[in-house]
Amino acid sequence: MRIIIAGMGDVGYQLAKQLSNESHDIIAIDMDQQRLSYSDQMADILTIKGSSTSIKILNEAGVSKADLLVAVTSSEEVNIATSIIAKKLGAKKTIARISNAEYLDPTIKINFAEIGVDFMIYPEELAAIETVSLINRTAATDVLEFEDGKLAVIGLRLDKNAPIANKKLVEVANEYPNSDFRVVAIHRNFRTIIPKGNDKFLPNDQVFVITKREGHDQILKLAGKENLKFDNIMVLGGGKIGRRVASLLSDKMQVKLIESDPDKSFELADQLPDTLVIKGDGRDIDLLAQEGIIDVDAFIAVTDDAETNIISCLLAKHLGVKKVIALVDKVDYIPLTQTIGLDSLINKKLIAANNISRFIHKTDVIVIATLEGIDADVLEFKVQPNSSITKNQISEIDFPKGSIVGGFIRGDVVSIATGDSRIYAGDKVVVFSLPDSVSKLEKFFEK
């Protein structure tokens, strides 16, 4: 595919990084030469300095031959204008990053595809939905769902008293031969391991498991966890994400929302009648104590400042809160935050890039996610007739080192992969892979 990415901020960069391992022609457009210089380090990316709303620049990028244009600058207006102009100049499909939830309201009577915008991505809404998913799966550090939750990848941090701690993978497999899950990755000391039989689970490992719905409880038990019911939530930050999280959770549990801006606090109180809105500084330990932080089940920090989110979450954890979730938009912070005691983190730009990537790969391969803070990708393939994956059972296929088949969906039947499993054309297969193995892995699913 010929893909034009307008805007090489964090979303554009992460998207280009994901796509650069594949055989796409990628053209990056940005006004800032320094941002483009980061992209130059990636293979097969052409960079053009200029405005994406310039017809001259778009023609220079070959927009008339583009299969897709993705506009992800920091300006909603620029993204929409870029998409409309690109569509008129011949781009087959366009995607625009937006910051106005109103555009996604199903009751509005505007068909944006008719004016040139085929798909809209709203990072704040996606981040709010992922946050709510983590609250609903109280023990998980990460959750990725496939086919409406029929298969899920769940990240868990092993407690020191976990039944599988200090055991080899093969020992666990022998103890639980009829289990509905498969361990697909271990993250330890900034290193991601695609495990083999002799790899050992250690306390504090972050373990990623693919499972069917019925396997969730067993996984939690083996990791030394329990899926607690959360009744009281405290949210720091009344921006778009915090407001949406409170709106989604307030009908199921008690929600307190802390906002430092007085005007915004009154506005939020009117918009969220079922949420207790508190004006104050979430870093103030006296305020948190006064508002009963020791009695809340989870603390969610989603202000615009990553440092505030991290510090307040660490404070909440120190005060005994069971689960803390921080919005961390600085990608460089992600590996650090997972070593200092945060349970889960949200990065709206990575989430946006993953969802755009999913849209791009709606045919044979869907790159579902680059997991935050670990060096691994999760991919879903639709198996083609006569592809190499169909020739033998999984144990007899020489997969690239650093990749593992987790599970597959055949019609309405969901299965966890084992060495004896056989994959057929039409199956949807979920695979974990280190980035260096992705291009080799794809060959097993081609015709």
pLDDT band at 69 (very low <50, low <70, confident <90, very high): very high
> For the purposes of burial, counting CB atoms within 10 Å of the CB of 317, is it exposed (0-12), middle (13-18) or buried (19 or more)?
middle
275-282: long-range contacts (C-beta < 8 A, 24 or more apart)?
275/246, 275/247, 275/250, 277/238, 282/236, 282/237, 282/258, 282/308, 282/312
Summarize the confidence of residues 235-254 as an average pLDDT. 93
Left, alpha or beta for 206 (phi > 0: left; psi -120 to 50: alpha)?
beta
Reported as type and span, the H/E element at residue 12 is: helix 10-19
Instruction: Say how many residues make up the chain.
Output: 447
Using alpha carbons only, give the angle 143, 311, 38 rounded to the nearest 5 degrees: 65
* Interatomic CA distance for residues 118 and 334, integer angstroms: 32
d(CA 418, CA 196): 13
**Tokens matching residue 343:** 């349970």
Residues forming a β-bridge with 299: 234, 324
Q: Quick one: pLDDT at residue 97?
A: 95
How confident is the prediction for the chain on average, in pLDDT?
A: 85
Summarize the confidence of residues 29-44 as an average pLDDT: 79
H or E element at residue 133: helix 123-136
Tokens encoding 19:
């796509």
**Predicted pLDDT at 159:** 79
Q: What pLDDT was estimated at residue 366?
A: 47
Cα–Cα nearest to 370, from 147, 192, 119 = 192
Tokens 């989870």 sit at which residue? 298
Q: Which helix (H) or strand (E) holds 403?
A: strand 403-410
Contact criterion met (CB below 8 Å) for 291 and 256: yes
The answer to whether 141 touches 344, Cβ cutoff 8 Å, is: yes
Residue 22 has pLDDT above 70, yes or no: no
Using alpha carbons only, how large is the chain's radius of gyration in Å? Answer: 23
Distance CA 181, CA 154 (A): 10
Confidence of residue 42 (pLDDT cuts 50, 70, 90): low
Exposure string of 381-400, with b = 16+ CB inside 10 Å and e = fewer, is bbbbeebbbbeeebeeeebb
Higher pLDDT, 134 or 240: 240
pLDDT at residue 101 greater than cutoff 90 = no
First-to-last C-alpha distance (Å) of the chain: 18
Pairing of strands 377-382, 428-433: antiparallel
Res 322: pLDDT: 87
Q: What average pLDDT does the segment 236-255 reach?
A: 93
Provide the strand spans (E) within 54-116.
68-71, 93-97
Q: Is the pLDDT of residue 265 over 50?
A: yes
pLDDT score at 41: 67
Summarize pLDDT for 209-232 with one digit per residue, the tens.
Answer: 888 877 777 787 788 777 678 899
Q: 70 falls in which pLDDT band (50, 70, 90)?
A: very high
| Distance (Å, whole) CA 271 – CA 267 | 6
The least confident of 3-7, 322-326, 415-419, 443-447 is: 443-447
pLDDT of residue 270: 94
State residue 187 phi and psi, 5-degree precision: -110, 125
Predicted TM-score (pTM) of the model is: 0.74
Q: Is the pLDDT of residue 387 over 50?
A: yes
Banded model confidence at residue 303, pLDDT cuts 50, 70, 90: very high
Given a cut of 90, whether residue 399 has pLDDT beyond it is no
Of 237, 228, 232, nearest to 264 by C-alpha is: 237
Q: What is the pLDDT of residue 375?
A: 66
User: Which of 75-84, 131-140, 199-208, 264-273 has the lowest average pLDDT?
Assistant: 131-140
Q: Which of 377, 55, 35 is nearest to 185 (CA)?
A: 377
Determine the Cα–Cα distance for residues 175 and 249; give it in Å rounded to an integer.
Answer: 39
Confidence of residue 372 (pLDDT cuts 50, 70, 90): low
Question: Among candidates 320, 374, 372, which has minimal Cα distance to 10?
Answer: 372
- SS3 at position 298: strand
Q: Which residue has the higher pLDDT, 297 or 341?
A: 297
Domains of the chain are 2-121 (3.40.50.720), 139-222 (3.30.70.1450), 231-348 (3.40.50.720), 376-445 (3.30.70.1450)
